[in-house]
Structure 1
């Protein structure tokens, strides 16, 4: 049976994966990879986009 997805729109820039770990290619002294943790600047790490604010134009 399929799972129900929440009814919140997914961020179009990160596609719902707001935080990623990127390896730099170098290694630490203990042999592990050096990584950078980056969050999506558009949704600020939530994975969801907010609805645009309504603006009244004209009268």
Structure 2
């Protein structure tokens, strides 16, 4: 049964849902019979799994 982790102050990446690095099979096999794989990293969060939120201020007034 999975345990609850403490809440983190950083929001989870909305593009990868917190799974920033995955391995994709190419469909071919190596000489020993294993599948050839390629790692892929989420370009939005750069492999961290979290997005840094920034607050944008708009100038108001004259």
TM bracket, shorter-chain basis: 0.7 to 0.9
Structure 2: gaps of 5 or more residues:
none
2:27: which partner in 1?
25
Aligned length: 59
2:44: which partner in 1?
42
TM-score w.r.t. length of structure 2: 0.80
TM-score w.r.t. length of structure 1: 0.83
2:15: which partner in 1?
13
Distance in 2 of aligned mates of 1:16 and 1:2: 15
Structure (1 or 2) with the larger CA radius of gyration: 2
Structure 1: gaps of 5 or more residues:
none
